[in-house]
Structure 1
Amino acid sequence: MPNALAQETSPYLRQHADNPVDWLPWGEAAIERARREDKPLLVSIGYAACHWCHVMERESFNDPQIAALMNENFVCVKVDREERPDVDAFCMEACQAMTGHGGWPLNVFMTPELVPFFAGTYFPPQPRDGMPSWRQVLEAVAATWRERRQEIRSAQSRIAEQLAGAARLAAAPELPPATLLDEAIERLRVRFDRRHGGFGGAPKFPPSCVLAFLLARGERVMSELTLERMALGGLYDQVGGGFHRYAVDAQWAVPHFEKMLYDNALLARVYLRAWQTLREPLFREVACETLDWALREMRGPEGGFYSSLDADSEGEEGRFYTWTLAEFEAALGDHAAEAARWFGVTSQGNFEGGRNVLSAATRERPPAFGEWRARLRAVRERRPRPATDDKRICSWNALMVSALAESGAVLERDDYLEAARAAVQFLLGPMRPQGRLKRTWKDGDARIDAFLPDYAHLLEALLALYEATFEPRWYRAAHQLADELARRFHDPQRGGFFETAVDTPSELPVRRKEIEDHPLPSGNAAAATALLRLHALSGEDRWRELADSTLRLLGPLAGRHPEAFGQLLLALDFRHGRVREVALVADDGTLARVVRARYRPHVVLAGGDPDDVPLLAGREAREGRPTAYVCEGFICREPTTDPEALASTLDA
């Protein structure tokens, strides 16, 4: 008989509905039961595309004897980390503090008062490689609770205070200096892998936020090599487009195969900006292929985007994406020998079972590349597909809107702009029932009050869509959302923003602030970025003051740990940069094309009806021709109708 998870909308939770474990969803009912029975909570956290989450379910959660042990001694709670980033972050910090590492599946044992006292990640069904079995862990924790529960409870207040994390930090009196930005780049240079790109060794995750910061600062060596090697390696899906979540090696050759919406939104935007900066054709192709993949495989009928594709199919990791030499030759026929050399396909393979993860030999694609890819894709589409987590997440959709809007404007792709509009209308409509933004949506059901990243990324998306289309409705929506963000999340005492809204009830014992990119831009950094851009468009100092409180709070940390604070460094670079506010009047697209021809990280762009956006107020066309006003701090130069003069002014 299914457990309580059968009533949930999360595909990850539903995957566990038939386990013999008496799972409950996170919430007051589970907590009340733990208090009533004086049992610890066993909080198990994962997500639908997580390979090792599936493994632990098959090995342990489906075992009737292990399930009986769990049910007897604990109140068992399943959490989708994508639905509840607050619970996940709280538990992950506890796990890292206790063990020195983290990951998913994440298993945390809490007192009924919600204070963690033991944590770990994956445990095997039998002891191996120095790891205890899951049964041994359960028995040891149950015995500890029976024999030492008062001792555990006596430490609760101290542990809860430690888990408040960044909420205990206080903002510095002054903004971090601009010199911090160069110091951060030097620290990144020390960690940079000069052979393969990226930072550090295996495993390697795409450093999207750091790359965006480096491009904004004009750094080319680290950013170009990293972008090239990721695009040529197995991290990138050479057949279907889009990126896998991370590489298990230092060479970007073999990925962990799940595909996440947020990775692809962030990377598409970075590759677009790299193309604007470097004019490398491969980078434009990768940006477009990534967005085309998202429109083809990740878009729901209402305009929102699904969350992820699983790593596994047919019971094997990577089965959908990899090839034996025989499969490859059957698909390509006479082209197989040449294509195998270029894609690196061999009889031995570079993955499990003699299978091959495809990579690319060079930046320049062969003339027959399009035909090769079409044939391979046609064969691949007949394979059983990886499972799709089709819940829509507000912040991840907002990241995709930003990528589509910016790319649509720069590349003049109306299909991208239309997709961005449709997704925003979905976020501001079905995902905002009764006027309150929600975190997730599935099958017509919007659930869970939105968190800081949902508001912050949506605010940035609305501004990106306004700057791409000059439709004032998006600017007005951004202004309204910024008011909500400030009212619900800002910390006026210590600066920055809390993860949860002040008017959203929370079961957790502390109200926390998430500050690092992991790998999504942190909500605090995204809020600072968007608010600074809103200030530049509106001239309202309150938005810059709110952003400054975050920069003063987190700037020193960002300088010391740049790999974890790329988005905040990007915001600080904008704050210290020479920001140009460009107002276009009566433009037919000619002047906007000049502004977008290069990546200009310190430019905000306004156009359309002068009555709607403050930056446009009082601006008139000269002699009835498209006219550009280039301003700094709302003080404008003499307007120009000459595209070359506009480009020269922006480049000065």
Structure 2
Amino acid sequence: MANRLASATSPYLLQHADNPVHWQEWGEDAFAEARERDVPVLLSIGYAACHWCHVMAHESFEDPDVAAALNAGFVSVKVDREERPDIDAVYMTATTALTGQGGWPMTCFLTPDGEPFFCGTYFPRAQFLELLAAVSDAWTTNRAEVAGSGARIAQALASVVDLGPATTLDAAALDDATDRLARTFDRANGGFGTAPKFPPSMVLELLLRQHARTGDQDLLDMVESTCDAMARGGMYDQLAGGFARYSVDAAWVVPHFEKMLYDNAQLLRVYLHLYRATGSALAERVVRETVVFLLRDLLTEQGAFASSLDADADGVEGLTYAWSPAQLVDVLGGDDGVRAADLLGVTEQGTFEHGTSTLQLRRDPDDATWWAGVRERLLAARAGRPQPGRDDKVVTSWNGLAIAALAEAGALLGEPAWVDAARRCADFVLGSHLVDGRLRRTSRDGTVGRAAAVADDHGNLAEGLLALHQATGDPEYLHAAGQLLETALAHFGDGAGGFYDVADDAERLVTRPRDPADNAEPSGQSALAGALLTYAALTGSTRHRDAADAAVASVGTFAQQNPRFAGWTLAVAEAALAGPLQVAVVGEGTAAAELAMLTRRSTAPGLVVAVGEPDAPGVPLLADRPLVNGGAAAYVCRGFVCDLPVTTPDDLTRALMPRT
């Protein structure tokens, strides 16, 4: 036996390829070996940017005594949660149920049939060695009880999700959900709840959409204060742009330093929509800087986007990012260093560790030119430090989120290069991740992985393609999105309007996972609901609209009762309530461009737009929309019932206003 991870496509698994532990990838071979040797399976789940995963690896998985115990008494399986979210979902449910909390690294002991009988997260070396001995003893001396426990847990997993009755999320239900949110809002620091604080991207999108419907200023205030606090705190990279995963404190000062594609793609869209609603200069700056971060630090050679940057550099968390006053003076000189320390909240006591501080920008610099020079010099100096590793695995779902954000931002802010970047990404994913008509979850260095795509891959990629179609007018992206949604409807449905996380022909696990919660990213359920609604609005398909409504209703009770964990479901419901609004702009030249830009600036929830020549092939919204007196015109429609065409910006502005 030997470590068998050398041929893995996952950077996380490759981080463990030199461990003395005889790791192997998830698969039937591992469980067959466990049956043949009559030993349990040690399942370890993590991801490449995970700080505590690195800690446990260094303490335990690189240790010869731990390796000896694992190799003698277990079959050891390593899983990248980002590559196999289905496996992660099943055993995270078990871990949370058994321990009351989850997290990574996740450590589970399974029978050779995959049934979990003991679960936990991070274990220090000494405790882990004791645990291995105890599990081995129980397996040898008390097998019946261990096997029975595994069977009972596996049976319980099948019924753990209780969504409650299907409920239509009407205006009253949506208002009730945001009332619940408001009660948990942190008025002093922004965000919801207490530490640790995660960026509530989907909840902020909900609040923006509901503000557009109701005009309630408090909803917009919650968005503005949260976005301002996140962008000015240490969770935002004041030098390079982009957001860290979360803040360990309530005031957004000290982040957990890993940078994830899914967070930055979603936050890019939120800040773009805040800018659209308010004209906020801060929001526009964050959009532009975050796009620079994505294109500079996460873009792969294939034109897609890498998954993450690590929390650690040289094994030290935050080493790349934290500064002392002396370090600022060393780079900038005495006067500029002292001035920069004051501006960036860098103190002798420090806000982080060992007298260092994260960089905050709680006020705008009084000299923009000076600050631009300081920022450039500090970033250049930081480039000489040890840098975090990059997980260059391309995840379908997260690239779908990036495509949507870049396409929409490029169209709204007049940056065609961003739209081109979204197009290149979409073309790569469609060209490489679709294999024999079915979508795969990941690729690396242009080589597609074996894992099948899950529900959120289909929903988020479809959403990205639909945004790209609206930005470019290219009907191929609309067609590709439609094919993905057809696959989802055929293979992921639960027969009652909702969706499972995995397809009906996917690998069988101890239970078929489904999680309705919107946590770090949209759930598969809500991602598909949103894409179905957008597709219906662009094509007029009542079948897709009915499927979207049924998907939202299937988790309506859950969403209303748990709004912090149903942000995207509720945001989709707001779009459905609004129509959503459909606008077709026909014509070319300056007049058409002006009407199109005015449309894109509308805050109408779920707005869709098509721009092109009348009856452009493959674009249903442009069908039977003639020019007016030979010139450009805009058709504003709700449910494909259209107002008379308008030709002037003032008339279009009035037509786009919400109706009561």
Fold shared by both chains (TM-score > 0.5): yes
SS of residue in 2 equivalent to 1:395: helix
Task: Check the 8 A contact 1:587/1:627 in 2, yes or no.
Answer: no
Alignment of 1:142-181 (within 5 A): 142-165=136-159, 169=163, 172=166, 175-181=168-174
Amino acid at match of 2:397: S
1:396 and 2:415 matched: no
1:592 and 2:596 matched: yes
Match for residue 407 of structure 1 among 398, 406, 409: 409
Structure 1: distance between partners of 2:174 and 2:274: 20
Shift of 1:421: 0.2
Structure 1: distance between partners of 2:545 and 2:186: 36
Shift of 1:470: 1.4
CA RMSD in angstroms comes to 1.6
Query: Which residue of 2 is the match for residue 606 of structure 1?
Result: 610
1:619 and 2:612 matched: no
Query: Which residue of 1 is the match for residue 214 of structure 2?
Result: none
**1:416-465 CA deviation, whole Å, 9 max, x = no partner?**
00100000000100222333321111123201111111111000001101
Shift of 1:165: 4.9
Task: Check the 8 A contact 2:115/2:154 in 1, yes or no.
Answer: yes
Task: Check the 8 A contact 2:517/2:566 in 1, yes or no.
Answer: yes
Structure 2: distance between partners of 1:258 and 1:95: 23
Match for residue 475 of structure 1 among 471, 475, 478: 478
Structure 1: distance between partners of 2:160 and 2:466: 28
Structure 1: distance between partners of 2:164 and 2:452: 27
Query: Which residue of 1 is the match for residue 493 of structure 2?
Result: 490
Structure 1: distance between partners of 2:546 and 2:149: 39
Match for residue 427 of structure 2 among 425, 428, 438: 425
Query: Which residue of 1 is the match for residue 216 of structure 2?
Result: none
Amino acid at match of 2:362: A
Task: Check the 8 A contact 1:210/1:566 in 2, yes or no.
Answer: yes
Amino acid at match of 1:579: P
Structure 1: distance between partners of 2:623 and 2:579: 22
Query: Which residue of 1 is the match for residue 208 of structure 2?
Result: 215
1:40 and 2:40 matched: yes
Query: Which residue of 2 is the match for residue 27 of structure 1?
Result: 27
SS of residue in 1 equivalent to 2:202: helix
Kindly tell me: are residues 365 and 646 of structure 1, through their superposed partners in 2, closer, same or farther at Cα, counting changes over 3 Å? farther
Query: Which residue of 2 is the match for residue 531 of structure 1?
Result: 532
Match for residue 633 of structure 1 among 623, 639, 657: 639
Query: Which residue of 2 is the match for residue 189 of structure 1?
Result: 182
Task: Check the 8 A contact 2:163/2:558 in 1, yes or no.
Answer: no
Query: Which residue of 1 is the match for residue 259 of structure 2?
Result: 259
Task: Check the 8 A contact 1:171/1:549 in 2, yes or no.
Answer: no
Alignment of 1:363-378 (within 5 A): 363=364, 366-367=367-368, 368-378=370-380
Amino acid at match of 2:210: R
Shift of 1:251: 0.6
Amino acid at match of 1:351: F
Structure 2 gaps of 5+ residues are: 212-218
Structure 1: distance between partners of 2:300 and 2:35: 41
Structure 2: distance between partners of 1:286 and 1:165: 43
Identity %: 46
Shift of 1:321: 0.8
Amino acid at match of 1:444: G
Query: Which residue of 1 is the match for residue 215 of structure 2?
Result: none
SS of residue in 2 equivalent to 1:44: strand
Shift of 1:88: 0.5
Structure 2: distance between partners of 1:196 and 1:164: 40
Query: Which residue of 2 is the match for residue 439 of structure 1?
Result: 441
Task: Check the 8 A contact 1:525/1:571 in 2, yes or no.
Answer: yes
SS of residue in 2 equivalent to 1:582: strand
Alignment of 1:108-507 (within 5 A): 108-126=108-126, 133-165=127-159, 169=163, 172=166, 175-218=168-211, 219-333=219-333, 334-363=335-364, 366-367=367-368, 368-447=370-449, 448-492=451-495, 494-506=496-508
Task: Check the 8 A contact 1:247/1:256 in 2, yes or no.
Answer: yes
Shift of 1:171: 5.6
Between 328-337 and 13-22, the greater mean CA deviation after superposition: 328-337
Kindly tell me: are residues 93 and 366 of structure 1, through their superposed partners in 2, closer, same or farther at Cα, counting changes over 3 Å? farther
Query: Which residue of 2 is the match for residue 83 of structure 1?
Result: 83
Between 639-648 and 443-452, the greater mean CA deviation after superposition: 443-452
SS of residue in 1 equivalent to 2:142: helix
**1:201-240 CA deviation, whole Å, 9 max, x = no partner?**
1111111111111111112121111100000000000011
Structure 1: distance between partners of 2:165 and 2:652: 39
SS of residue in 2 equivalent to 1:76: strand
Structure 2: distance between partners of 1:363 and 1:27: 53
Kindly tell me: are residues 528 and 452 of structure 1, through their superposed partners in 2, closer, same or farther at Cα, counting changes over 3 Å? same
Amino acid at match of 2:408: E
Shift of 1:482: 1.5
Structure 2: distance between partners of 1:37 and 1:510: 25
Task: Check the 8 A contact 1:170/1:495 in 2, yes or no.
Answer: no
Kindly tell me: are residues 381 and 345 of structure 1, through their superposed partners in 2, closer, same or farther at Cα, counting changes over 3 Å? same
Shift of 1:169: 4.9
Task: Check the 8 A contact 2:299/2:305 in 1, yes or no.
Answer: yes
Kindly tell me: are residues 283 and 321 of structure 1, through their superposed partners in 2, closer, same or farther at Cα, counting changes over 3 Å? same
Task: Check the 8 A contact 1:236/1:243 in 2, yes or no.
Answer: yes
Structure 1: distance between partners of 2:380 and 2:475: 42
Shift of 1:167: 6.3
Task: Check the 8 A contact 1:166/1:512 in 2, yes or no.
Answer: no
Amino acid at match of 1:190: R
**1:251-294 CA deviation, whole Å, 9 max, x = no partner?**
10000111111110000100010111121100110011011111
Q: Which runs of 4+ in 1 moved over 6 A?
A: none
Amino acid at match of 1:69: A
Structure 1: distance between partners of 2:71 and 2:550: 47
Query: Which residue of 2 is the match for residue 571 of structure 1?
Result: 572
Structure 1 gaps of 5+ residues are: 127-132
Between 150-159 and 222-231, the greater mean CA deviation after superposition: 150-159
Shift of 1:71: 1.5
**1:21-76 CA deviation, whole Å, 9 max, x = no partner?**
11111111111111222221110000000011001111111111111111122111
Between 424-433 and 41-50, the greater mean CA deviation after superposition: 424-433
Structure 2: distance between partners of 1:377 and 1:149: 58
Task: Check the 8 A contact 1:167/1:511 in 2, yes or no.
Answer: no
Kindly tell me: are residues 424 and 323 of structure 1, through their superposed partners in 2, closer, same or farther at Cα, counting changes over 3 Å? same
SS of residue in 2 equivalent to 1:7: coil
Task: Check the 8 A contact 2:30/2:75 in 1, yes or no.
Answer: yes
Q: TM-score, normalised by structure 1?
A: 0.96
Task: Check the 8 A contact 1:622/1:641 in 2, yes or no.
Answer: yes
Query: Which residue of 2 is the match for residue 543 of structure 1?
Result: 544
SS of residue in 1 equivalent to 2:76: strand
SS of residue in 1 equivalent to 2:436: helix
Structure 2: distance between partners of 1:202 and 1:406: 32
Amino acid at match of 1:200: G
Task: Check the 8 A contact 1:410/1:593 in 2, yes or no.
Answer: yes
Task: Check the 8 A contact 1:241/1:286 in 2, yes or no.
Answer: yes
Amino acid at match of 2:325: L
Shift of 1:151: 2.1
Q: TM-score, normalised by structure 2?
A: 0.95
Structure 1: distance between partners of 2:35 and 2:401: 40
